[in-house]
Every structure is written in structure tokens, then in C-alpha cells.
Chain A
Amino acid sequence: MSTLRRRRIVNVIAFSMSMVATAIGLALLCAILWTLLSRGFGALSFSVFTQMTPGPGSAGGLLNAIYGSLVMTALGILIGAPIGLLAGTYLAEYGRNSPLSTVVRFINDVQLSAPSIIVGLFVYMLMVMRMGHFSAIAGAVALGIIAMPVMVRTTEDMLNLVPKSMRDGSAALGAQPWYTITRIVYPAAKNGLVTGVLLAVARISGETAPLLFTALNNQFWNSNLNKPMANLPMVIFQFAMSPYGDWQRLAWVGALLITLFVLFLSIIARSISSLFGQHGNPGE
């Protein structure tokens, strides 16, 4: 009787603690979002979008950094997404069960969680040292390398959800595999592929470490891809670590903008994939 009582008490305590753990997790998310909203919105003004990053002690905005981030993220996706799409296609279609695919899949999964600062070092030696200077294009390549594994993984997962009977039907009508893949399988997996691109954009738009030694930063307006370019993550890093109040306020605004953008993308990606999921996608 007393062991039963003890087990019941343990049961109640354990599950109460699991509720506390969940509350802690959600409270942390709220705390971070609350800080961002209160500090970021407090300093948000129209001039953030119309003026350049200021020198210490003067007013200004984030226009050049926002522009730079958009340009480099877009270029990074243009580099990383097509290669990722093709590699994912190989894994899901041509080489589904080949030993090569197993190795590629494994290495790609490792790269998904590999430290991004190492990509920065790699691109530094590959491009920055050869060219002799930091440049926006080097930053875009670094971001592309980070976007690629995300795209490979989602492409493979999404193509695997397309029923084999559709491929068989296409082949029975005499279509070559490339025709089947590009005209039948890709359209069928369209939503999933879009999700992959969105996730890749979300992944790279907040990345800072790979830009430290590639795009660097630039206090002024620059649209030359061959020169250092301002970007939000680097500006946040530099301004937040500075002793100047104006700079720190701008850093909070930048952090708010990036976070809202990334969370917005993740939520859109999620809702697309859950819509897609109604047609037989098990899990996420």
C-alpha cells in the first residue's frame, strides 16, 4: 500500500516538473521576444529605413545594412538553392539506395549542424585571400554554402513524399527520368520545395559568423559586390558591443528586424508544409 502511495506521489511530482520545464521553455521565448519588442520598437523610427549607419554619437539609420543583408541573402540563396535542389534530387531519384547517396546524405546531415564560423574561414582562404580584400560576393558565397545543406535535406524529404505511382505512370508513357522529375515530381512537390527555400533563407539571414571574415562591414552605402558591404548581423555585433547609446539602440532595432523576418519566414514555411501535409505527409 505504501509503495503504491509512493509511486503515485513520484508520478505527480515528476509530471509537475515536466510542466515546469515546459513553462520555462515558453517563458524564455516570451522573455526574448518581449525584450526585442520593447527595446526594438522603442527605438524604431522612420529614419531607420532612410538613413545610413551613423558614426559614434550621431543619429542615423540602418538603410545600407538592410540593403546589404537583402542582397547577400538573395545571392546566397541563388548560389546555394539550385545546387542543393539538384543534389537533393540525386539523393531522392537517381541514387536513392546507392552507397554514394548514403555517404552524401550522412555528410550533408553533418554539415547541417556544423559550426558556421568554419565556413567563414574556408571562404576567407578561398576568396578573400586570393582577391586581396573583403567583399560582398565572398559573403554571399559563405551564406550559399550554409544554405545548401538545408536545401538538400528538404528537397530529398519532399521528393520522397511524391508517390512512386506518379513516376511509374510517367515512365509508362515513355518519359525519360529527367522529364518525369522536372515535369511531374517537382510540380507535385512544389509546396515542399518552396518551404525548403524559405527555411534556407531563414537560416542564413541571421548568420553572422560566416560574414565576419568575408563581407566584413561598411559604414557607408555600397552596391559594389566586389567591396565590403554593410549587413544587419555585423552592424548589430559592432553596435551592441560599443559603448555608445545611439549605436546600442540601433543594434536592438536591427535585432528586432532580423528576428521578426526570420520568425515570419519560419511560420510561413511551417504553415505551407502543414497544408502540404494533408496530402499524406507524415510528420514534418
Chain B
Amino acid sequence: MVLSARLRREARAESVFRVATLTSALLVLALLAGVLLTLIHGSWPALKTFKWSFVTGERWNPVADIYGALTPLYGTVATSIIALLIAVPISFGIAVFLTEICPRWLRGPISTGIELLASVPSIVYGIWGLFVLAPILQHSVQPWLIVHLGPLPVVGRLFQGPPYGIGLLTAGLVLAIMILPFITSVMREVFRMAPLSLKEAAYGLGATQWNVVWDVVLPWSRTGVIGGIMLGLGRALGETMAVTFVIGNAHRISASLLAPSTTISAAVANEFAEAVGDLYTSALFALGLLLFVLTFAVIAGARLLMMRLERGTVQRA
């Protein structure tokens, strides 16, 4: 009797714990669904009013209650592309250094240093970008760009106008620093997984160390490299505070990368608390929805690539 009562209690504890863990796991899914539904619900009035012109429209005028998201969308994409153009080569260089030529005793400290860049809060990047980076860009880098690249055909249009210091280029630079550690760490991991036998075979054929990196390791690990880059892109698209500091918050599209602009997240961060009127608030929710869809697609793509990679290595091993 005593024993069976004890067994019953144990079984009850077991089912309680099991259900608690299952519920928590389901909560992860419910949270995502909740976020999506909330954003759709919040942006419904704006989407109903403007339909597709919300995405294609360039006017963002709270006074006239007309909202088009093209400018922030352009800003988000442009700053992220600048960030990738700068961060990917540097990350690649660091990953190659760490996996190929760095002496073993230096590997730990250097990778820790690079990864600490990832734990610096984004608001610190913002304040640093505004007070340190922007003045440097305004007084030395941008004037140089305007003089030397401005007159060029086609490309020149990106580097014309006065040097504001803040704008698309500055935001892109700050984003590049922020996503660099993420891309580096993925690249380092996948480079390290490249099979030694392949590398040795290449050395045996007389390849230089660089030939091995470029023609053997990189092609072998391209899925992971692309995944890492997309993960960085996902971060760059959604980053808010750092960009808000240095983007200049101007709702207009300029050809020049030196001009102030805005991004989706910066527009939401800046305007949400002061938004008056339901349509204005709803338009900001719609911006949030746009950002959610954009980043979800990119990050999910990155994760799928990396999942495929993990499965692949398990099979190969």
C-alpha cells in the first residue's frame, strides 16, 4: 500500500515535470506566433488604407497622414549592404588568420578579443559612432571621398554632397563592426571543420598555404560561410539603437551615401513614442511587420543552411 502510494506520487511528479517542459517548449513557438499576430493586428489599419503603396510609396508625412515605407526600407537595405561589404572581407581575413597562421597560444586571446566585440551593447556602439566615428568621417574621410570619388562617373553619385558625418555610410560602418564578430565566429568554425586529408592532398600537389585556403577550404565550407554571412545580414537589418544614433533620421532617399537617411528600426525607435493618431501608430507597426518578415526570411535561411551543414558533417563523420 505504502509503496503503491509512493509510486503514484512519483508518476504524478513525472507527468507534471514533463508537461511543464513541454509547455515551455511550446511557449517558444507561441511567442513567435504571438509576435506575428500582434504585428499584423497592429498594422492592419495602415495596410488596409495604403495597400501596396505602403511598401512602394516614398512619402512619409505624419501631418497629411500619408505613409510609405520605401525610404526606411531603402535605408535598411543600403546600410546592411555597406556593412556586409566591409565586414565580410575583414571577417574572412580574421578567420583565415585564426585557423591557419596564428600560433596556438595566441589563438585564445585573439578570438576572445574579437568575440568581446559582440558583447558590447548596441547603445555603446551608437554613442561611440556619434561622438568618435562621425567626427572623424566628417573631417577627414568624407571630404577625401567627395574630392576623389565624387567626380567619377556612376559611382561618383554615391559620394557627392556635403560631409554630414552622419548618414548611410556611417551607419553601415558601425553595423559592420557590430556584425563582424558573428561572421568571423561562424567562418572560423567551418574552416576548422575542413578535412585534413583534403588539405594534405592539396599540399602534396604543391599548393601554397593560400591555394589551400582559397581553392580547398573555402569551396568545401561555402555553405557555412554563406550561412554566417546571412546571419550577419539578419543582425544588420534589425539593429536599432546604434543605427538610430548615426543615421540622421531624415525621411528622404538620396543618391549619396553621405546623406542622412533613416532605417525601419530607427524610424520605429524615434517616432513610436511620439506618434499621435491611430494611423501613424499603425504605420509604425506596419514598419515593424516589414522588418519582422525581412529578418525572419534572412535568419531562417541562414539557420536552414547551417542545419543542413550540421547534418552533412554528422553523415560524413
Contact = CB atoms under 8 A, between A and B. Distances in A.
A281 interface: no
B25 A240 contact: no
B127 A117 contact: no
A87 B101 CA distance: 41
B90 A24 contact: yes
Contacts of A15: 96-97, 100-101, 209-210
B42 interface: yes
Interface stretch (B56-64, B141-149, B238-246, B250-258): B238-246
B285 interface: yes
Interface string A5-21: 00110110011011111
Contact of A87 (B27, B100, B114, B240): B27
Interface in B86-119: 89-94, 96-98, 100-102, 110, 112-117, 119
A93 B130 CA distance: 47
Given A206-B124, A208-B122, A233-B121, A22 B268 contact: no
Secondary structure type dominating chain B contacts: helix
Contacts of B124: 32, 36, 206, 255, 258-259
Interface stretch (B9-17, B45-53, B65-73, B197-205): B9-17
B196 to A, nearest CB: 17
Interface residues of A, number: 91
Secondary structure type dominating chain A contacts: helix
A145 interface: yes
* Chain B: interface size category: 35 or more
B24 A86 contact: yes
B101 A104 contact: no
Contact of A110 (B92, B239, B299): B299
Contacts of B239: 115
Nearest to B27: A83
Contacts of B177: 28
Contact of B35 (A26, A122, A213): A122
A255 B110 contact: no
Contacts of B288: 117-118, 121
A53 to B, nearest CB: 16
Interface stretch (A44-52, A70-78, A172-180): A172-180
6 contacts: A24-B90, A89-B21, A90-B22, A115-B238, A237-B123, A237-B244
Q: Rank and list the top 9 A-B pairs by shortest CB-CB distance, nearest first.
A: A206-B121, A21-B93, A115-B238, A86-B24, A178-B17, A90-B21, A87-B24, A90-B25, A18-B93
Interface of B: 10-11, 13-14, 16-18, 20-29, 31-32, 34-35, 38-39, 41-42, 89-94, 96-98, 100-102, 110, 112-117, 119-128, 130-132, 177, 180-181, 184, 189, 208-211, 213-214, 231, 234-235, 237-241, 244-245, 265, 268-269, 272-273, 284-285, 288, 291-292, 295-296, 299-300, 303-304, 307
